[in-house]
Amino acid sequence: MTSASALDGNALGGPLGELFTFDITSAVATCAGCGRRSPGAAWVVFVDAPGIVARCAQCERVQLRLVNDGTGRTWVDLSGIETLEIAAPRGGA
């Protein structure tokens, strides 16, 4: 059961869209923990952690962490993602 304070991966679209040219919400990720394949939109996302944390909806492994360190530098940890399938540029079809 997901915590009531959780959002989902739709909330990552803006913050990651500033860094990357692809849309994370429709990209299909394979979890490095359990192998589940799901669109980024289906991750469980906490924006009130220090930074932003996205977890696999099946095994809860951290998929992605994004932190601004306050000096204008952004850190992105993608170690929980085995692969990302990206269909088309943002907004394309």
Partner 1 sequence: MARTTVLGRLSWRVATVSSRAPETSRAVTLVLDVPDWPGHRPGQHVDVRLTAEDGYQAERSYSIASAPGDPALALTVERLDDGEVSPWLTTVAAPGDVFELRGPVGGYFVWDGSEADPVLLVGGGSGVVPLMAMARHRARQAIPTRMRLLYSARSEQDLLYRSELDGLAAGDDGFDVVYALTRATPPGWTGYDRRVDGAMLADVSFPERHTSPAFVCGPTPFVEAVANSLVLLGHPPGRVKTERFGPTGGGS
Touching partner 1, residues 27-66 (CB under 8 A): 39-42
Phi-psi region of 91 (alpha: psi -120 to 50; beta: other; left: phi over 0): left
CB of 28 to partner 1, least distance (A): 10
Choose the stretch contacting partner 1; rule: CB under 8 A; options: 16-24, 58-66, 67-75, 76-84: 16-24
Q: Does residue 1 belong to the site contacting partner 1 (CB under 8 A)? A: yes
CB of 15 to partner 1, least distance (A): 8
CB of 24 to partner 1, least distance (A): 9
CB of 76 to partner 1, least distance (A): 14
The 3-state DSSP class for residue 7 equals: strand
13 to 18, 42, 65: CA distances (angstroms)? 9, 12, 14
- How many Å apart are CA 82 and CA 56, to the nearest integer? 12
Q: Give residues in contact with partner 1 (CB under 8 A).
A: 1-11, 13-15, 17-21, 23, 25-26, 39-42, 89-93
